């Protein structure tokens, strides 16, 4: 069976692409999936992350670097489809890079991590437009915004709530909150699970987000990409945002 491909994209630097890609890939692998991380960013952050792991506790997914493939990333990823159940592509932040577009050509799901502040949301508009364009070519492509580094009680988060409805991309119910555990993971070369009990809250949200991803990839018709309900756990629901068409078309 061909792997499901998840592209983690946002042209804005530091939004949490690599964090999200590695937590998701590692968690899927720990659940028994056969997972490949494609490090499509020349910075090589995902590759270094996995290389930081000890021999006793290697990063649970395989990681390969494909940043030099540029606009041909999709062609290279296609060669791994039969060998894995999931392929997670960590994309670079550069606005002018051909990599995100190439990754979206072969992706089943685009995940767009965004720090919930108005400037970060504004700069993510370009990636939403790219996803919209690619949907015309790749009709399987679903997309979700994932709030990252969330500090719900801040003014920035409240301001972000006001502009989320205008963003026009369905939101994951689960957000990743601002937690030191996420920074520590890159040092130990693992997922939050490796940090044990002190990372319980981070583990819970990574597991919940992975559950959501699995559901979207299964094409569950109940997750039609509509905005979250108002009683969402982090209180940043995109109120009144209508569901996008095409978000259930994943095969």
Ligand X SMILES: Nc1ncnc2c1ncn2[C@@H]1O[C@H](COP(=O)(O)OP(=O)(O)OP(=O)(O)O)[C@@H](O)[C@H]1O
Site residues for Mg ion per CB under 5 A: 17-18, 45
40 binds, among Mg ion, ligand X, none (CB under 5 to 8 A by kind): none
Closest distance to Mg ion from the beta carbon of 17 (Å): 5
- Alpha-carbon distance 26 to 14, whole Å? 20
Comparing CB distances to ligand X, the nearer of 41 and 207 is 41
* Contact track, ligand X, 56-95, x by CB under 6 A: -------------------------------------x--
State in angstroms the smallest separation of the CB of 34 from Mg ion. 23
Are 147 and 181 within 8 A, CB to CB?
no
**Cβ-based neighbours of 139, under 8 Å, separated by 6 or more:** 246, 249
Task: Decide whether 37 or 238 has the Cβ nearer to Mg ion.
Answer: 37
16: which 2 tokens?
Answer: 């949490």
Nearer to Mg ion by Cβ, of 70 and 235: the residue is 70
**Tokens of residue 235, six digits:** 């209180």
Type and span of the H or E element at 37: strand 35-39
Name the pairing type of β-strands 62-65 and 109-114.
unpaired
Complex with ligand X: residue 72 or 179, whichever CB lies closer: 179
- Contact window for ligand X (CB under 6 A) among 39-47, 73-81, 189-197, 221-229: 39-47
Pick one of ligand X, Mg ion, none as the site partner of residue 19 (Cβ within 5 to 8 A by kind): ligand X
The answer to whether the CB of 5 falls within 8 A of the CB of 40 is no
For ligand X, the binding residue among 4, 6, 41, 210 (CB under 6 A) is 41
Residue entry with tokens 């309900």: 229
CB 16, min distance to ligand X, A:
4
> Which of 182, 171, 174, 46 has the alpha carbon at shortest distance from 121?
171
The residue of the chain with the least Cβ separation from Mg ion equals 18
DSSP string, 70-102: GGGHHHHHHTTTTT-SEEEEE----TT-SHHHH
Instruction: Figure out which of the listed residues 5, 6, 7, 15 binds ligand X, where binding follows CB under 6 A.
Output: 15
Q: Which residues bind ligand X (CB under 6 A)?
A: 13-19, 41, 43, 45, 93, 148-149, 176, 178-179, 182-183, 186
């Amino acid at each position: 069976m061909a792997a499901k491909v998840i592209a983690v994209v946002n042209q804005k630097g530091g939004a949490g692409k690599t964090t999200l890609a590695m937590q998701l890939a590692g968690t899927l692998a720990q659940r028994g999936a056969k997972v490949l991380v494609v490090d499509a960013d020349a910075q090589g952050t995902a590759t270094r992350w996995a290389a930081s792991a000890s021999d006793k506790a290697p990063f649970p997914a395989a990681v390969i670097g494909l940043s030099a493939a540029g606009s041909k990333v999709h062609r290279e990823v296609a060669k791994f489809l039969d060998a894995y159940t999931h392929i997670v592509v960590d994309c670079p932040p550069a606005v002018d890079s051909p990599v995100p577009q190439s990754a979206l050509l072969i992706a089943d799901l685009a995940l767009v991590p965004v720090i919930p502040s108005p400037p970060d949301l504004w700069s993510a508009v370009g990636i939403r437009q790219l996803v919209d364009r690619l949907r015309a070519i790749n009709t399987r492509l679903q997309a979700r915004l994932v709030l990252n580094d969330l500090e719900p009680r801040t003014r920035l988060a409240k301001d972000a709530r006001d502009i989320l409805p205008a963003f026009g991309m369905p939101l994951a119910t689960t957000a990743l909150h601002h937690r030191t555990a996420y920074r520590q993971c890159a040092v130990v070369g693992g997922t939050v699970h490796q940090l044990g009990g002190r990372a319980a809250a981070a583990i819970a949200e990574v597991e919940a987000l992975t559950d959501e991803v699995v559901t979207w990839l299964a094409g569950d018709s109940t997750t039609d990409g509509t905005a979250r309900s108002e009683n969402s756990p982090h209180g940043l629901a995109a109120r009144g945002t209508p569901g996008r068409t095409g978000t259930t078309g994943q095969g």
